[in-house]
Amino acid sequence: MKKLTITFIILDILVAICFFVVYSPFFEELQNTIIATAINTKTHDYIAYVFYSEDHVNKVVAMSNFTPIDAEVKLDDIVIDTKPRESYDNEYDEAILTRDEGNEDYKYLKIKVGKYDAHLVAIYDPSKVHILTCTKFNSKNGKGQESVLKMTKRMGAVVGINGGGFVDYGYGSDIPIGYVIKDGEIIWSKNNKKDNLIGFTNDNKLLLVNATGQEAIDMGMRDAVQFGPFLIVNGEVPKFNSVAGGYSRAARVAIAQRKDGVVLFLVTEGTHAAGPNMKELIDTLKLYGAYNAANLDGGTSTQLVIKNKLINNPKNISGKTVVGGRSVVTGWGLFLDDKKESN
């Protein structure tokens, strides 16, 4: 009888702790993360409504959003001149533009985004940044997918990050979401609707545009994936609806370009529910001079590869390391020669 009483007391204490965490104002950020993550995962959105009212859930979801930037990228503002300088605007500018000895192609920096470890790669020649693609799209068995590590090895890229999203039935697939453009041709599309396209023009400038694939090609797009949101356009950032910082916390991937043409690959550590928010990502990109920037597929898909080595520690929704990186469908790579294997 005494053991049963002790068991009930322990259960009561655990329930009290759970209620304290779920409802106490001291844990507001954690509560907002629980709600935003549950809603964003779709299949588990019921978790949010078990503990909170519909009005409260809607309020938190609204706080996690921000107003998109309504502006066209001014490509003429990008003047490609990435040679070393004698003076720098600030310590972040100097960190980007001072080369490592013997490496004129890129520079790797380990930094922080908010409180999270992150990895930043500055690429000096934007003409050498091209799309990465898996071996096959929409194969019958779904085995066309590849990790970024495998894509970079097969295609010959020195640096690589993941790119656009893909249809996910819980185990992934090799079916891209939206457009994939390579060498000025649409190599994948399910429709002809306008959407957010992220890519490089024939003039090697990062173009962020809401358009159809053909419209983007007509604007000079050579390589592109469909994803978003756009984080910085012409130096301007979105307006956040609250101090929440935009979207839930997660591992992040972003691509950006400075006004001098330097391309930035930014990859953070984290999981589906832990990592920088969008504002922290944007603030960091701004520090390093990003003039145009866009969010790429993050979470478990987050990957940075340098010289055939996975640099970050991608984790699945349970927080376990994904050895070698998750299989994805597209990415961005730095190629030091013109040899890029076709999809």
Question: What per-residue confidence (pLDDT) applies to 141?
Answer: 81
Q: Looking at the structure, do residues 223 and 282 belong to the same domain, yes or no?
A: yes
Question: Do residue 8 and residue 97 come from a single domain?
Answer: no
Identify the weakest region by mean pLDDT among 40-54, 75-89, 285-299, 316-330. Answer: 40-54
pLDDT of residue 170: 66
Q: Based on the domain organization, do 131 and 248 belong to the same domain?
A: yes
Same domain, 328 and 240: yes
8 Å CB contact between 162 and 297: yes
DSSP conformational letter for 140: T
**Amino acid 4: pLDDT:** 65
Q: What is the pLDDT of residues 14-56, one digit of tens each?
A: 666 656 554 555 555 566 556 665 554 444 555 666 666 766 6
Residues with Cβ within 8 Å of residue 102, at least 6 apart in sequence: none
Domain count, the chain: 2
Q: Which amino acid is at 70?
A: D
> Is 161 part of any domain?
yes
Q: Judge if 314 and 178 occupy the same domain.
A: yes
Structural domain ending residue among the three candidates 28, 46, 63? 63
Say what the pLDDT of residue 44 is.
52
Among 63, 79, 109, where does a domain finish?
63
Side chain identity at residue 334, one-letter code: L
Best CA proximity match to 251, nearest among 284, 283, 298: 298
Provide the pLDDT for residue 67: 74
251: left (phi over 0), alpha (psi -120 to 50) or beta: beta
Domain that holds residue 127: 67-334
Residue 208 vs residues 198, 230, 255: alpha-carbon distances, Å:
5, 7, 11
- CB count, 10 Å around CB of 43? 7
48 and 130 co-located in one domain: no
Last residue of a domain, one of 63, 87, 104: 63
Question: Is the backbone peptide bond immediately before 126 cis, with ω within 30 degrees of 0?
Answer: no
> Do both 271 and 162 map to the same domain?
yes
Q: In sequence order, which ranges of the chain are alpha helices (DSSP H)?
A: 2-23, 28-40, 46-51, 54-63, 91-97, 148-155, 213-218, 278-287
Same domain, 87 and 122: yes
pLDDT over 90, % of the chain: 62
How many angstroms separate the CA atoms of 204 and 197, rounded? Answer: 15
The pLDDT value given to residue 291: 98
For residue range 146-202, what is the model confidence (pLDDT) as tens digits? 999 999 999 999 999 999 999 887 677 899 999 999 999 999 998 899 999 999 999
This prediction has a pTM of: 0.82
Do 79 and 155 sit in the same domain of this protein?
yes
Q: Which residues contact 28 (CB under 8 A, 6 or more apart)?
A: none
Q: Cα 122–188–202 angle (5° rounding)?
A: 45
Angle formed by the axes of helices 54-63 and 28-40, to 10°?
A: 90
Q: Between 39 and 214, name the one with better pLDDT.
A: 214
Residue 339 belongs to some domain of the structure: no
Amino acid at 140: K
**pLDDT(127) > 70:** yes
Q: What band does 88 get if pLDDT is binned at 50, 70 and 90?
A: very high
Average pLDDT, the chain: 85
pLDDT tens for residues 272-310?
778 998 889 999 999 999 999 999 999 899 999 999 999
Answer yes or no: do 81 and 192 share one domain. Answer: yes
Q: In terms of domains, do 164 and 310 share one?
A: yes
So what's the pLDDT on residue 258? 98
Position 52 in a domain: yes
Which letter does DSSP use for residue 137 in this model?
Answer: S
Distance linking the first and last C-alpha atoms of the chain: 69
Question: Has residue 287 been placed in a domain?
Answer: yes
Residue 227 lies inside a defined structural domain of this protein: yes
Residue 252 domain-assigned? yes
Give, for 301, the enclosing helix (H) or strand (E).
none
Q: Report the relative pairing of strands 221-226 and 239-240 from DSSP bridges.
A: unpaired
Lowest mean pLDDT among 70-79, 135-144, 146-155, 194-203: 135-144
Question: Does residue 96 lie within any of the structural domains?
Answer: yes
In a domain, 130, yes or no: yes
* In a shared domain, residues 256 and 276: yes
